[in-house]
Amino acid sequence: MPGADRSMRVGEAVVDLLARHYGVDVVFGIPGVHNIELYRGLHRSGVRAVSPRHEQGAGFMADGWSVVTGRPGVCTLISGPGLTNALTPMAQAFHDSRPMLVLAATTPTDALGRRLGPLHDLDDQAAVARTVCAFSETVLDPADVPALVARAWDVFRSGRPRPVHLAFPTDVLERWVAPYEPVAAAAGHTQPAAADVAQAVDVLTTATRPVIVAGGGCIDAGNELRRLAERWDAPVLLTGNAKGVLPSSHPLCVGTLLSAPSVQAAVEAADAVLVVGSEVSDTDLYNGGRALDCAGRVVRVDIDAEQIMRRMTPEVGIVADAAATLAALAEELPRAIRDGAAATGILRAHADEAARADLLPWVDAIATVLPADVTVALDSTQLAYAAHAVLTAEAPRRWLAPYGFGTLGCALPMGIGAWVADPGRPVFALAGDGGWLFTVAEMATAADLGADIVLCVWDNRGYGEIRASFDRVAAPRMGVDVTSADPLSVARGFGWHAVSVDTPAGLTAALQAGFATGGPHFVHVAAPG
């Protein structure tokens, strides 16, 4: 029972701690009988609760919100299926190194792991989530909460950001406690060692044909990246998660062309390669799983010590924060005199290798009318693959896509999360007809919110990329020729304005009208062929 010094249930106290001391002001989740105490806490603390139509949507919304804000997105879920439904977006955030806090109910303590058949039972919910989390714990003692939350924020702020899952048995959520106070956090970002910086400078100074590869770890290091690139006069290749960190209009920005074979060959032929905050993974390269074989000297910077030696062996590895390391390198490197812009132009000329020629008119039709301040959310679909390479971005944290995990269905809910994070900025989402149906129910969420989202669905009547994969290996097609039947009626049924187009000019006009009007707009594109 509550008393003078024990005035909150644990569910309330968790949310109170997050709201008062960690700046949490919005969560994404679906209430149920098992997590009501968390929602009691949300109400008491004034934290906004956005209700998707599926927990997968909650996770994607939290992820999109996190990209835009740079803060951990928070999910509030029920036990069992609430958590398992959210595993896909949690895995996406894990692979793309983004912070997410998942607060979920779980089985009562007297039934944990005993297979007694309580509702939503999992043998070990924390273990189920552990493979897609920095850490995943079951809270058995309410006194552990402040330390666990502090540990989560240490991951988010000081290390490689990834999801954290805390499972609360329902009886623990209902216990009475005094309001929580925060415990001390870690010191902050890891600074580069002076000796490592000096060694890197020795390597980089000798370069005559340098190149920089910047990944998602640079997302908040744009100023430092620009300064170093200009001082070293080196072309900058960006992974998808770094798009916009160096503006596309900058003369040293090659853009997101790492998948182009000629660009990969140029990186391998460079006499010095600086890799910062990137896995340089299969999903960055799309070259059949082959790691880059760099003939020149490699310097690698990453906050994750385990990442330094993966997929390439650098001459110098620096385990430290990207912004701090880039700043230190720029301070020590002598100014180079060469024509880096010319080298950048040569690499940019290979954009046609990263995008199908027949899709370029459609991407151009989109580029013509995108507002300057738009946030772009892309799904896994053929037109989006071309957009990755061709569409430009002038600022970071405005480009959302499932690079690491490559899932379907994320564009719409990620776009909703992005709009919740910054409702003054319009959102353009692009999905295929197959992927759109994975999370189509979130159209209802967008309508409830009155979100300014233009969703373009590229309808190639099924799973077009998989269809092409069958054809490439001469396998008979199966399960790839499916239909969304009447997508316009579906969209209108959810309260969206909806139109269909079949030409690039029609797409431009429809998008222009959608952005001008505001609210949720659905543009169906009947793909040729």
DSSP 8-class letter at 184: P
In the chain, ranges of CATH 3.40.50.1220 domains: 194-353
How far apart CA 242 and CA 286 sit, in angstroms, is 17
Query: Number of C-alpha atoms within 13 angstroms, CB side, residue 416?
Result: 30
| Chain segment 265-311, per-residue pLDDT in tens | 999 999 999 999 999 998 898 888 899 999 999 999 999 999 999 99
Predicted model pTM: 0.95
Report whether 254 contacts 237 (CB < 8 A): yes
Question: What pLDDT is attached to residue 6?
Answer: 62
Could you list the beta-strand ranges (E) of 150-197: 163-169, 176-177
Sites in the chain below the pLDDT cut of 50: 1, 3-4
Tokens 């301040």 belong to: 373
CA atoms of 194 and 522, how far apart (whole Å): 53
Helix (H, G, I), strand (E, B) or coil at 126: helix
As annotated, the residues of the chain forming the CATH 3.40.50.970 domain(s) are: 8-177, 357-526
Tokens of 81: 């299926």
Domain 8-177 carries which CATH code?
A: 3.40.50.970
- Tokens 């006194």 sit on residue: 143
Q: Which residues contact 467 (CB under 8 A, 6 or more apart)?
A: 460, 477, 480, 481
Domain 357-526: which CATH class?
alpha beta
Output the CATH code of domain 194-353: 3.40.50.1220
C-alpha distances in Å from residue 307, one per residue of 298, 304, 327, 401: 14, 5, 21, 22
